[in-house]
Structure 1
Amino acid sequence: MTMSPLPTLESPQFQESGLCELPNAASMYEKILQAEARAVQDGANENVMLVRVVGHPLLELHAKRGIFGNRPCETIIDEVIPSSTGHGDGDNVVFEVGRRYRDHLICRFRTSTEPYRYPPPSSHPSRPSYDKTAKEKALARDDFQCMITGSFDETSVKHNAELQAREKDLGGRPTVVEACHILSESTTQGVGASEESSVVNKTHYAPGVLAILTQFGLERLAKALEAVNGVHEVWNLLSLEPHIHADFDSLKLWFESTDEPNRYEICFFNVTIGRYIRAISIRPETSGPNAKMVDNFSSDWEGAPPPDPKLLALHATCARVAHMSGAAEFLDDLERQAEETDVLAFDGSSAHLLSGLISPYAVIYGVA
């Protein structure tokens, strides 16, 4: 998947999407196309990317209306349609909407740092005793295996004879299996009142993603995440081996829903990721050259529900939009520049870098 222009109003992709059936969708989309054309003509690469961060989600979210309904698309339409006609202010409105979704949605489903590595369990893995933390619940829910490759968690195998026998029968090699957050662990850190204090301690950037979830009609999900330790609930966790964890966090791998509940197609940014999965997988669904690359994220344990399908669908949307819009490349370049820059330049030439780095932390006013 590579960066791509927005489809025109006359294109089969747009016509077959059915998006024009929504009120004001066609006129709003025309504004976006005009802003894209002017940004391309001006050579304003970041603005081109921001416009596409608005346009591509419309098609992606509308395609997932069976999961979300029309509310997300209607929200984006309502944000863009009031923009004034003409060259200036209208385009700026589109750019700012794109910046908001890049910084407070895509960035919140994207983690660039090393995955948070939880210490492996020290107790013997048994369901009655393995419910101390959400990470432990997730690992037990997922049968002490990476959900994609089937690789067993090495510490769990070490302490359990039954897992040792199963691992020997299936082959492969035990590895570290990590807890991977669907929505970034840092997203809601400090949001809400602590149990010990009545003082509300909000990070600057958390309200942005929670406001977007609420505006998309996902109020219950936003409130669940806003609760104390809500982001660590088992429905926001996947059990993945480290390399796949890193690819998921960086939006290079995602899961698309199928017609069957809790069954997902494994999608990835480049074929190298697919080759890696096939090479180490001990599951027939994800091993071998003709693997279907699908997996079941089901759970028959009431205390540990499967990963939330709406969160997975939003992650998939953000991953696809990040690559189609150029946001993924922009954010990667921004991080490389930050790593290579020890101090900001006195002449102001680092202003773009500084602005890009602090933009996701700007206060977003609205419903949180």
Structure 2
Amino acid sequence: MSRLPQASDYTARALPPNPFSAADLPQVYAAFNLCLARAHLVPLPDPNHPSVVVCARVLGFTLAEASDDGRDHMAQSISSGSTDNTLLALGKYYIQRFKLLRAFKSQKGRTPAPSEHPSRPDLHDVQEVCKYILQQASLNHSTAKAAALVRDGFHCMIKTHLYDAQYFERNRSTITVQDPQWDVGTLRCAHIFPEGLSSDLGGIEVPSVKREWVASVWDVTYMFGIHMEKLNGTGIHRLENILTLSPSLNDFFDQLVLPWLEAVENQPNTYTVVSTIFSVLGRLPSRVVTFTTPNTNALPLPSPAYLAIHAACCRVAHLSGAAEYVEKALREEEGFANG
């Protein structure tokens, strides 16, 4: 088995040598060179603003991660103004998008109480659940959580020995034999892209400022080759955007930068769990997880594309050094708001 990524692999660092071909991708090659030139400057300490070095690294690492179309668009933006101030402004724009994405993931309300609709099926009858889900035009938070629990076997998708307490009590004899390391607890419905990034909340009036913020974050996802229209409105609760996680892993996941999931090559729906904090990884039963579903049509698995974007944002934020700035800025804002 190939070497698993380690926490130390994602500490902030200088940009690598230009990975692009001057002959095949001249504009992208030139744009990366502009980032390289600024990324080798000595950063001036400024706790309140990211340095031009961090901004240049953000742009360079994003270029390396971006899709073909997104890379061309980004290279054009970088090359259109080659001064330090221009690159600083563009880098700050991307860092602010990371900050908004992190902030939206942190802004949770209370989990809605499960619906008591009389036609809702018994969650332990998989066939009835699948039939019910296929009849729904869309899902809300509660139905998405319930459907994901059924899809994921009523256990955490990463800490796989942790089972939903009620499910465990009904299936104690089977689980204790099949999984000697079993544990019980509560499970949460975690969104890969957070609920706050929907600009259409089922007819609820959304302030224009928030719509602008959401649109700007979607611009960043476009750089990685994904159009996010399917996630607008109640689409944010589609099962392709949902993970079943333990409360602690859900909180970590909402910090954007840990843990994240990197696809294992040639193994569908199989991922390596990555984190910048060793203690998070050390408490997992396995660093490699494979997602399964009893019904691919009714209960689809998390989208590999959505998970790839989340992972790319995490890598860029950490390797560039932007993650530290984002977390510090948000802590200060939260402290100010609570003070």
Normalised to the residue count of structure 2, the TM-score between the two structures is 0.78
Displacement of 1:155 in angstroms is 3.0
Say whether 1:103 aligns with 2:109.
no
Question: Which residue in the other structure is 1:313 paired with?
Answer: 308
2:50 to 42, 46, 49: 46
Q: Given that residues 189 and 245 in structure 2 are in contact (C-alpha distance below 8 angstroms), is that contact kept between their aligned partners in structure 1?
A: yes
Task: Give 2:125's aligned amino acid.
Answer: S
C-alpha separation in 1, matches of 2:38 and 2:299: 46
C-alpha separation in 2, matches of 1:217 and 1:232: 21
For structure 2, the 5+ residue unaligned runs are 1-9, 117-121, 134-141
C-alpha separation in 2, matches of 1:41 and 1:275: 34
Question: Which residue in the other structure is 1:93 paired with?
Answer: 86
Displacement of 1:312 in angstroms is 0.4
Count of residues paired in the alignment = 304
Question: Which residue in the other structure is 1:164 paired with?
Answer: 172
Displacement of 1:252 in angstroms is 1.4
Q: Given that residues 104 and 197 in structure 2 are in contact (C-alpha distance below 8 angstroms), is that contact kept between their aligned partners in structure 1?
A: no
C-alpha separation in 1, matches of 2:249 and 2:15: 30
Percent of paired sites with the same residue:
25
1:266 to 247, 251, 273: 273
Give the alignment of 1:210-289 within 5 angstroms.
Answer: 210-214=218-222, 216-219=224-227, 222-226=228-232, 228-250=233-255, 251-259=257-265, 260-277=267-284, 281=285, 286=286
SS of 1:306 mapped into structure 2: coil
Q: Given that residues 163 and 185 in structure 2 are in contact (C-alpha distance below 8 angstroms), is that contact kept between their aligned partners in structure 1?
A: yes
C-alpha separation in 2, matches of 1:112 and 1:217: 21
SS of 1:157 mapped into structure 2: helix
C-alpha separation in 2, matches of 1:238 and 1:324: 25
C-alpha separation in 2, matches of 1:106 and 1:315: 13
Question: Which residue in the other structure is 2:136 paired with?
Answer: none
Displacement of 1:263 in angstroms is 1.0
Q: Given that residues 19 and 59 in structure 1 are in contact (C-alpha distance below 8 angstroms), is that contact kept between their aligned partners in structure 2?
A: no
Deviations 1:33-71 (A, max 9, x none): 222344x3555561222221111122234xxxxxxx412
C-alpha separation in 2, matches of 1:114 and 1:208: 18
Deviations 1:190-237 (A, max 9, x none): x1374588x999633111122333455423xx11012x2111111101
Q: Which has the higher contact order (CA 8 A, sep 6+)?
A: 2
C-alpha separation in 1, matches of 2:104 and 2:208: 25
C-alpha separation in 2, matches of 1:298 and 1:119: 26
Say whether 1:3 aligns with 2:12.
yes
Deviations 1:14-34 (A, max 9, x none): 3xx769742312211121122
C-alpha separation in 2, matches of 1:54 and 1:252: 21
Task: Supply the RMSD in Å over aligned alpha carbons.
Answer: 3.1
Give the alignment of 1:57-72 within 5 angstroms.
Answer: 57-61=62-66, 69-72=67-70
Displacement of 1:175 in angstroms is 1.1
For structure 1, the 5+ residue unaligned runs are 62-68, 85-89, 287-292, 345-368
